[in-house]
Amino acid sequence: MTNFTRPLENLGRVTVQSLAGIGHAGMLLLESCYFVATGWRHGQPVRLRMVFAQMRQIGVDALPIVALLAFVIGVMLGIQFIAALSEFGAQSQVVVAVAKSVTREFAALITAILVAGRSGSALAARIGSMSVSQEVDALAVIGIDPVRYLAAPALISMLVMLPVLTVFADAVAISGAALYSSPALNISPSAYISQTLTLLTPGDVGQGIAKSLVFALLISLIGISTGFSVSGGAEGVGRATTRAVVLSICYIIVADMIFSFFLNR
């Protein structure tokens, strides 16, 4: 009977661990919101200096790589849509196809995956290293709440900077598509961008920003909760970093699928 029940035991164990992880992330979110809203009343304010430092690390430092990837994505979409739509004599629809696919889907998704690999892993590694070296316990001993000190600034910074990076990626990707597609469409790049701005609606850009807010929440909570739950020394930190990146990307793609299903029906 052991051979038959072991898969069920493993499934149950994984399910319980997954539910415990979701509960832990939820409590971190509630505690972070509590400290942001009322921490200053109890002598535990969220320091703006730490928030700005996290914003620089998450957002400003990521601008070059986001610009490079967004530009490449824009050129790639221009290539693909020109090739596909020319078969039906619909080259004039390239502008709207690129604009809506970038703002609704690709900019938010690619930016979130990049930030998950760059900043989500850094969050997990930093907090995990502090947990292993008992620095988190030391913070609690001297009266500094670890969630207020480590989690809340990262959460606020991610929620602010990921939508900003997404809008930046929108602009760069559309510019890349304009540089490639405008000669094929016999228009100037400025005319291409002007036509794009005419065809886009606030809802198109808003859809990408709404996705980026959810992605920011997922990346930060997964990175932070994974870091706080690290055990096993340096090897545990490595496993936690890998786990944070993999889980973040998986949840981002699943959330993006759910968004696309409900927002494009």
Residue with the larger pLDDT of the pair 40 and 63: 63
Q: What is the secondary structure of 190-246 as a DSSP string?
A: HHHHHHHHHH--HHHHHHHHHHHHHHHHHHHHHHHHHHHT--SHHHHHHHHHHHHHH
Residue 8 located in a structural domain:
no
Q: Taking 70 as the threshold, does the pLDDT of residue 1 lie above it? A: no
**Sign of the CA dihedral 254, 255, 256, 259?**
positive
Q: Are 110 and 74 in contact (CB under 8 A)?
A: no
Token pair 């629809």 is found at: 93
Q: Does 151 have pLDDT greater than 60?
A: yes
Q: Please give the pLDDT value at position 184.
A: 82
Cα torsion angle, 182, 185, 188, 190, sign? negative
In a domain, 6, yes or no: no
No. of H helices and E strands in the chain? 12, 0
Tokens of 132: 């292993």
Q: Locate tokens 């961008």: which residue? A: 193
- Global pTM value: 0.88
Which positions ≥6 away from 126 have C-beta within 8 Å? 150, 227
- pLDDT bin (cut points 50, 70, 90) of residue 3 is low
In a domain, 5, yes or no: no
Number of domains present in the structure of the chain: 1
Q: How far apart are CA 31 and CA 121, in angstroms?
A: 22
Range in 128-142, 172-186, 209-223 the model is least confident about: 128-142
Q: With b meaning 16 or more CB within 10 Å and e meaning fewer, what string describes 120-131?
A: bbbbbbbbbbbb
For residues 69 and 111, what is the distance between their CA atoms, to the nearest angstrom? Answer: 8
The verdict on residue 11 lying in a domain is no
3 inside domain: no
DSSP state of 40: G
> What's residue 6's pLDDT?
75
Q: Which domain holds residue 185?
A: 47-263
pLDDT category of residue 2 using cuts at 50, 70 and 90: low
Within a domain: 104: yes
According to the model, what pLDDT value does residue 262 have? Answer: 85
Token pair of 254 as six digits: 């699943």
For residues 152 and 50, the answer to whether their CB atoms sit within 8 Å is no
Residue 130 in any domain: the answer is: yes
**Mean of the per-residue pLDDT values of the chain:** 86
pLDDT digits (tens, 9 = 90+) for 210-258: 999 999 999 999 999 888 888 777 788 888 888 889 999 999 999 999 9
Percentage of the chain beyond pLDDT 90 is 33
- Range with the lowest mean pLDDT among 23-27, 75-79, 189-193? 23-27
Integer Rg of the chain from CA: 22
